[in-house]
Amino acid sequence: MEDQTVQRIWIRLGGGLGLALLVGVLGSTWGAEPKVLRVCADPDNLPYSNDKLEGFENKIAAVIAQDMGAELRYTWWPHQRGLVRRTLNAGRCDVLIGIPKGYDLVLWTKPYYRTAYVIAYVKQRGPHVTSIDDPLLHQIRIGVHVNTPPHDALAKRGIIGANVIGYRLFYNPPVQPEESPGQLIDDLLAGKIDVALVWGPLAGYFVQKRAAPLELVPLRGDDPATPFAFDISMGVKKGEKALKAELEGALSKEAVPIRMILEEYGVPLLAMDASEATTGQGGLRQGDAREGDAHRH
C-alpha cells in the first residue's frame, strides 16, 4: 500500500520533479570507459531543469558527474506519464535526478534532501493560514494544482466549492504557455487568489530567484495516505546496484555543494532521518525548517 501511494503521488507531484530522456544506445553503458553519465531531464521545467541547464537539478547533476569523473550528457524528453518505462527501463538513460524515496519502479538511492508542499501567501497581505485545517480555507480563494496531495486533502475536508481554483500540472509549453505550473504563483502575486497550496521547490524558486514577497508554511497532516513531505532520491534502473552505490558515494561527498544549490533556488528543506540521508561531513544533515514551521526567506 505504501509503495502504491508513493507511485501515485510521484506522478502527481507534477511541476516537481524535473525529468527527461537522453536518447542514445539502448542498454546500460555505465562502467564503460570513458565514463558517461546519461541523465534524464525535462527541457522546459524550471526550477528543476531546462535545456539551458538553468535548473537546480541540472546543477546537481553537474556536481555529481564531476565527482564521478564522468561526462554529463542530455537529450530531452518532457515530463509525462510512462516516462520511466520509455526512458530508464528502455536503457536510454542512466539516472533520474529527483524522485521520491520509495518509488517502486526504480532502484532509488538514499535521499539527499527532504521537502514538502507548502501554503504560500503574500506577506503583507495574508491571510496568515498555517494549516490545511484552518477554518479560513472554507472562505478564501485557494489556488491548487489539480490531482495533487493538497487537492485531495481539500476534497476530503469538503473544501470543493467555487473558492477552490484548480491549475494544471501537465502542459505543452509551445502550445499552452499560459498554463505553466508557475501560473498559480503569478495569480497569487496578482491577487487573483488568496493562498496557494503548492510544491515547495516551485514556490521557493519564485521567492529566491524572482524576489516574490511570499511566506511559505510547510503543509502538515495526519493522513498517511496523503503525505505532504517527501524524501527526494535519485533513481536508476532496477538491478543497477553498482551505479546506485557510486551515486550515493558522490551524493555523500558533495552534500555541502548540493545543499548550497538547493538553498540558492529557495527549496524549503526539512530535516531528514540521519540514518537515511546521504550526508557527508558537515553536509546535508538538517533542513532549514521543521515540518510545521514556517520556512522564511
Q: Are residue 102 and residue 120 in the same domain, yes or no? A: no
Closest by CA position to 45, among listed 11, 75, 13, 79: 79
Residues spanned by the domain of 245: 2-113+230-264
Q: Are residue 205 and residue 236 in the same domain, yes or no? A: no
**Does 295 reside within a domain?**
no
Residue at grid coordinates 508554511: 217
**Rounded to two decimals, what is the model's pTM?**
0.82
**Does 100 reside within a domain?**
yes
Q: Is residue 204 very low, low, confident or very high in pLDDT (cuts 50, 70, 90)?
A: very high
Q: Are residue 173 and residue 257 in the same domain, yes or no? A: no
62-103 pLDDT, tens digit per residue, is 999 999 999 999 868 777 777 788 888 888 899 999 999 988
Render the burial of 220-241: b for 16+ CB within 10 Å, e for the rest.
bbeeeebbbbbbbbbbbbeebe
Q: Is residue 174 very low, low, confident or very high in pLDDT (cuts 50, 70, 90)?
A: low
Q: Are residue 102 and residue 193 in the same domain, yes or no? A: no
Final residue in a domain of this structure, among 188, 218, 248: 218
**Does 195 reside within a domain?**
yes
Final residue in a domain of this structure, among 186, 218, 250: 218
Q: What whole-number distance in Å separates Cα of residue 232 and Cα of residue 68?
A: 20
